[in-house]
Amino acid sequence: MKGIVYLVGAGPGDPGLITCRGRECLEAAEVVVYDRLAGPELLRHARADAELIYVGKEANRHALPQEEINALLVERARAGQVVCRLKGGDPFVFGRGGEEAEQLARAGLPFEVVPGVTSAVAVPAYAGIPVTHRGYTASLAVATGHEDPSKGNSTVPWGPLAQGPGTLVFLMGIENLAGICRRLVREGRADTTPAAVIGAGTRPEQRTVTGTLADIASRAAAEQLAPPAVLVVGEVVRLRERLAWRERLPLFGRRILVTRSREQASDLSRRLADLGAAPWEFPTIRIVPPVDWEPVDAALERLSSFRWLVFTSRNGVEAFFRRLAEKGRDVRELAGVELVAIGPETARGLTARGLLPAFVPGEYRSEAVVQEMRGRASPGERALLARAAEGRDLLPRELAAMGLEVVQVAVYRTEQAARGAEEVRRALAAGELAAMTFTSSSTVRNFLEAVGREAVRDGTKVVCIGPVTAQTAREGGLAVHGVAATYTIRGLVDKTVEVLAGRRNPI
């Protein structure tokens, strides 16, 4: 049986810029063949059992020659596999996707081209430069900057480009930058024409240097801009001073590690990304069913005997009600039972089901629940704690000391899920991570087991959702730089902004 190859444009670097169709293909693939410019954060969308093959290409250094990449795609498709060929930018814009498609067509193998957001437009936009603007220009030309402009048989039409009034965008041109500028001036473009070089566009380490054709090469060299970089030439560059929106976001320039489970990470990642950060999802835990459902099922059989039902997390709420439904029961079983939720997120899990908690403690941890219960519960009443298998023993111990009959059941447990630990170690060693966020003690423990304390550099900040998580981090040898004032995702984000105020990733 023949497989299929999806030639997917990953976009210019920001993982949020991949298209919906591109992500679908990535999620379905059995094999992912990816480039250096296809950000590692995108690989989290791959199936857990997908084979990941790196064929990254840099200037003068290829992990795999193009001919071998072509052969690899043919080989895997012929073997009946679903292959995602993940390429930076758009596969048909200087991406050699056309060559790969030709090879597949010659082999009689099915393929699909999934266009990507090209860096020719997106990178200038992230730097505050619209490539067209009614008040400046109505035309745009995109050319490769990888070709030596001094060679005699150039395929780039330098004369028309230089003499036209529109915006010029050169991709992959940082190594030939001085020659490109000289050629444009020689062919008729004024050396006073505004120009900008944008390095690592749309990524957290994005940097922009502006000048004119006369001096942009020397300015970029002074700032040590390196590939990938985009050169923009034209009057639209003048708009950057007013429109440079991304650099003004409070977390711009920061790559932040998110260690929550994959199911939970999206909310935290979205909030960080909205503030300009590049969240790197590295789930260190996976939420799985308990080893034995019997204690849970036994508690469900006698729900009406409990006066209190305490949830310590949203995960506990979701797992409890999922099991309740699986056993053919519903919320009517909870008539007369008082519900307690630690934290607003846990409370939202209840209200989403039309249930109102009796109270949510002002401080979102077990100690606060105990304080609230002292004035509400009576000795002899029964309390059911639906929680993680790894939960702290403080809550059941203290409630039992108050005279309550406490039954605790594990409705879920966490396992280590730290795929991509080597990439995280590399990023830490390179100083690419501005901060790491931890939302539970289990995320800390599993991170340390997977990555190791020795991999964490002093320059990477550690921010925790609450004091219990922070204590676990300290016990593991991590320096904690911030603890959320309110033990919520919003509080964690606010504290991250505070900790990183005025800082940038070392580039």
Evaluate whether 426 touches 444 at the Cβ level (below 8 Å).
no
Evaluate whether 7 touches 114 at the Cβ level (below 8 Å).
yes
Evaluate whether 227 touches 172 at the Cβ level (below 8 Å).
yes
Which residue type is seen at 402? M
What is the torsional sign of CA 416, 15, 55, 91? positive
Residue 366: which H helix or E strand, with range?
helix 366-374
Joined tokens for residue 323: 């099991």
Of the candidates 2, 14, 49, 57, the residue annotated as catalytic is 57
Evaluate whether 467 touches 444 at the Cβ level (below 8 Å).
no
Which position has the token pair 């067209």? 132
Coil, strand, or helix at residue 407? strand
Which residue type is seen at 281? E
What is the three-state SS of 279-335?
EEECCCEEEECCCCCHHHHHHHHCHHHCCEEEECCHHHHHHHHHHHHHCCCCHHHHC
Of the candidates 2, 14, 35, 191, the residue annotated as catalytic is 35
For residues 181 and 195, what is the distance between their CA atoms, to the nearest angstrom? 9
For residues 208 and 288, what is the distance between their CA atoms, to the nearest angstrom? 45
Evaluate whether 89 touches 10 at the Cβ level (below 8 Å).
yes
How far is residue 309 from each of residues 63, 335, 342, measured CA to CA in Å? 56, 11, 11
Neighbours of 244 (CB within 10 A): 16
User: In a 10 Å sphere around its CB, with 0-12 CB exposed, 13-18 middle and 19+ buried, how is residue 45 labelled?
Assistant: buried
In the annotation, is 57 catalytic?
yes
Q: What is the DSSP letter of 337?
A: P
Residue 397: which H helix or E strand, with range?
helix 394-401
In the annotation, is 327 catalytic?
no
CA-based radius of gyration for the chain: 28
For residues 495 and 209, what is the distance between their CA atoms, to the nearest angstrom? 31
Catalytic site positions: 35, 57
